[in-house]
Structure 1
């Protein structure tokens, strides 16, 4: 069997497998063990599948699959190139580790009154939507992928139906609906202008559109994707929505879903709007996102909200790389996205362990964690210094790649972004050390509200009863799977550092291909 024939079977599987598994998990709602095994092994298989596609694509070049018997640009086209397969693989690792964490937590805490049975089918549906977004070769199916994982995210965000989660969920739904509406307007403008929604053919025809019209359409597209990616000033919804969800849900939202928006920006900037007409605007947006996000993080007293603001801040690094419009900048943006997906997700999973151990994520109540649970201290410390950009970790490597790309581009604005990137990195390190100092190193008795804790940790329902910390009888009880899944994700982030050389080679080849839109068009269009 040739590689082309092999890929024709592999490309649709990241969409088909989670869809079938979601249906099966729903049918197995009364059989929790079978449901959990279905979700666990489906996502584990996706890691191997997507890793295989990365190897094939990197050695053989991009592959496309035409669905329904219609060739591009009329039919549905799935495109597996280096960028999409890399994102598929990293997302599969994250999705697997989070579901392992969730299963371990649910086995320990899941009660009859908690909607655990609906969590796994919804989670698998979210996985399917993410994979559709990465493989879509046209804007309409990119929109479909977004809507699939957004519908699933509405359910996951409001699990437990507590007032705070429903309130946050309503805000999230309204913002997502606005983003989807803007995306639909963008689709209409594109089709009215060029008569197609296939990304390769749109890029081919955009050169015939007046500059002003092309820039206006790109602006509408950027607003739609900017909301999903949470770039400034379209980021205000995120810190209010994510911290109210269970930590495992927040982990996959923060680590992965915002990067789908970043992926979409990279794709349309390189394939469709490759003239760079709005690169200056993107640079300004990237700088503002970095600075405003980290300033917001410094003002927070809750670890979840603090991490939500750092999430916004570090999206700015990826926008910086995209805005440079060079292969070097794109390579840095892709590498940094890989790093950030793994590290940010790991940190939110650690917060879930902290909540379980101490009953809260508020820095006003935390302390002594380094003595109470050295394992959690280690699990926090490694991704924290990685996010802060301490050498030789991947956070440092990614920032250096972006700074070098900006320096090679030259000009006062790239140098301004370099200054902003360095300042943001230092302030990120400061916030990470602040959490360590207050939550881990300080004696809990010295915390302003250190004597209080929640009655018990619960994965899918809010618990508001406050008791004395010494009266809790579940301190230190953490299932092995929760710790092991978090450690596995941290190990994956460390592996990015260890194998940074081969990985940057792949991201460089991906960026070089993206920098020449003709390559993508030749691969997609017959």
Structure 2
């Protein structure tokens, strides 16, 4: 039996169809939380398995393509899984599964608590599965309009998730997020219309052939329109101001999956269009400057914050710059480094936001001015934070270090003055990331709560190692604000310590372990990303797999 005898292309739509079917089932089972949980976990576990098979198949047999509908090619809708999209599917499906387990653990722990009414699980499960379907559709889209549909599916569901609970802070942050998302979607739609008017198609493989025949000025306008829309979604400076105020107010699982995935879908779109449609981009210098400013300004914002959520939100913006760094180099080595960095960053950023959710649950706040003694209160949580923080900072031999080395080597190899400036900026950003996260460690985990400057506002004379617990209702969301306002506080004495739910802690530990696993398999994974980058730069494997011979013109 030949390798292609197995009908692998039939697997291609499953990462989209399974979550949509699961969403319908969980909505039908809205009166049975246990059935909702079972369906959601089973669906996302199946998506992980399908994505794993697609990674193997695309690496062995090349891109897997499925045309939908009875339209003559290339007029129909194509779903395409190549090495890049298959890897993104696998990493994103692992993240959505583990975050779901965390959310289920949180829902079970809060089942008898007043906060249950703030996070209605009957809405959460179907909406979360629709979000997973939108992410998968965006990664598999073989044309610009289907990519737009994928963005809209995930954005529609994210509008619901980011405002769960309906508190004033969440509605305010959600409004900002919705307005920015609608703006980027409108720009994307205008860009699609312009592309179709200029080329007569929105199919990515066909565009790869036709855009090269356009006048350079027209091609530049098309590239700018698409790049602007994707840069907003990816939070690339100066289009990133919306993110630090939007993510911190959402529930912990929502914030984690947003931070890990949503901006990376924008980065994926930039990688796909820059390599496939605009391989000889005149905007390489502009992208390099955008990468440098995103890295440096983002991390300077993180250093100036006093709230853990906002520190991580700014580091998220900053590290998007590393990915744009690799894309801007426009070399196989740079593209491979960018792909590796995306896979690494999705896992680590998600783990850190899950850890932040546990910190908030344990201490009642994420303000560094009110935190202390976490290492004594929960050594396991402290260990998870330390490993993830060092990974994000790029401490050897972890995957963050390997990813940065790959990008820096690609910049040095290119050797232009701007590439060298990016190398220096990347090193500075890494050191400042280490500083920002070391500050979190020293203040939240290492020092005692009695040494926290504002601990007396929450509890009087706490014992060493004790924590103050409170339910959060309002977050500071303006620039420079980090402390949250709490409404109910209680000193956690040694005789009655607050413990973390095992399911939530286990999901967070598993997410951290995935980040460590990337370090273990870094050699094969980097070789895989190099093969993916080679395919992207040559464009031929994608185009020949999607288009019949008679329409390659």
Same fold (TM over 0.5): yes
After TM superposition, the structure 1 = structure 2 runs for residues 38-187 of structure 1, keeping only pairs within 5 Å, are: 38-110=39-111, 113-114=117-118, 115-187=120-192
- What is the CA-CA distance between 1:457 and the residue it aligns to? 6.4
What is the match of residue 522 of structure 2? 500
What residue is the counterpart of 1:225 in the other structure? 230
Relative distance call for 1:474 and 1:195 in structure 2 (3 A) is farther
Q: 2:542 aligns with which of 508, 520, 526?
A: 520
Tell me if structure 2 keeps the 8 A contact 1:235–1:312: yes
Deviations 1:325-347 (Å, cap 9, x if unpaired)? Answer: 01110000000000000000000
Match of 1:393 among 374, 395, 398: 398
Aligned mates of 1:456, 1:223 — CA distance in 2: 39
Contact 1:225 1:265 in 2 (8 A): yes
Does the alignment pair 1:251 with 2:256? Answer: yes
Q: Output the CA distance in 2 between the equivalents of 1:215 and 1:137.
A: 22
Q: What TM-score comes out, normalization by structure 1 length?
A: 0.97
1:464 Cα deviation (Å)?
3.5
Partner in structure 1 of residue 480 of structure 2? none
Residue in 2 that maps onto 1:330: 335
Using the alignment, how far apart are the partners of 1:379 and 1:486 within structure 2? 8
Deviating more after overlay: 400-409 vs 68-77: 68-77
What is the alpha-carbon distance in structure 1 between the residues aligned to residue 496 and residue 154 of structure 2? 35
Mapped pair 1:414 → 2:415: no
Moved more, 382-391 or 440-449: 440-449
Q: Is the 8 A contact 1:357 1:475 kept in 2?
A: no
Secondary structure of 2:79's counterpart equals strand
After TM superposition, give the deviation of residue 477 of structure 1 in Å: 2.2
Counterpart pick for 2:486 among 460, 464, 467: 464
- 2:345 maps to which of 340, 349, 355: 340
Is 1:318 aligned with 2:342?
no
Cα separation, 2, equivalents of 1:360 and 1:394:
30
Maintained 8 Å contact 1:72/1:198: no
C-alpha contact (below 8 Å) 2:290/2:321 kept by paired residues: yes
Give distance in 2, aligned partners of 1:364 and 1:472: 22
Contact 2:473 2:486 in 1 (8 A): no
Q: Where does the alignment leave 5 or more consecutive residues of structure 1 unmatched? A: none
Aligned counterparts of 1:12 and 1:191: Cα–Cα separation in 2: 25
SS at 2:499's partner residue?
coil
Could you list the per-position Cα deviations for residues 296-343 of structure 1 after superposition, in whole angstroms to 9, with x for gaps in the alignment?
Answer: 000100000000000000000000000010111000000000000000
Q: How many residues align?
A: 524
Q: Please give the secondary structure, in 2, of the residue aligned with 1:467.
A: strand
Cα-to-partner distance string for 1:8-39 (whole Å, 9 max, x where unaligned): 22101101100000010011110000100110
Q: Are the counterparts in 2 of residues 21 and 38 from structure 1 also a CA contact under 8 Å?
A: yes
TM-aligned CA distance change 1:427 to 1:445, over 3 Å: same
Shift of 1:246: 1.1
- CA deviation after TM superposition for structure 1 residue 514, in Å: 0.2
Q: Which residue of 2 aligns with 1:36?
A: 37
For 2:486 and 2:164, locate their aligned partners in 1 and report how far apart those are by CA, in whole Å.
16
Paired residue secondary structure (1:88)? helix
Q: Distance in 1 between matches of 2:342 and 2:19?
A: 23
Q: Which segment is superposed worse, 160-169 or 210-219?
A: 210-219
Q: Which residue of 1 aligns with 2:361?
A: 356
1:510 to 532, 535, 538: 532
**Equivalent residue runs for 1:7-46 within 5 Å:** 7-46=8-47
Deviation digits for residues 391-415 of structure 1 (CA, Å, limit 9, x no counterpart):
0000000000001111111110000
Distance 1:489 1:308 in 2: 18
Matched with 2:313 is 308
Structure 2 alignment gaps of length 5 or more: 459-467, 475-483, 549-553
Equivalence for 2:506: 484
RMSD: 1.7
Partner SS, residue 65 of structure 1: strand
For 2:477, the equivalent position in structure 1 comes to none
Structure 2 partner of 1:273 = 278
Q: Is the 8 A contact 2:471 2:489 kept in 1?
A: no
Q: Shift of residue 458 of structure 1?
A: 8.9
1:245 alignment partner, SS class: coil
Taking structure 1 as reference, are residues 356 and 177 closer, same or farther at Cα in structure 2, changes over 3 Å only?
same
Alpha carbons 1:356, 1:457 under 8 Å: kept: no
1:188 alignment partner, SS class: helix
After TM superposition, give the deviation of residue 193 of structure 1 in Å: 0.5
Q: How big is each residue's C-alpha offset from its partner over 1:328-383, in whole Å with a ceiling of 9 and x where there is no partner?
A: 10000000000000000000000011011111111010001111110110010001
Consecutive aligned runs of 4 or more in structure 1 exceeding 6 Å deviation:
471-474
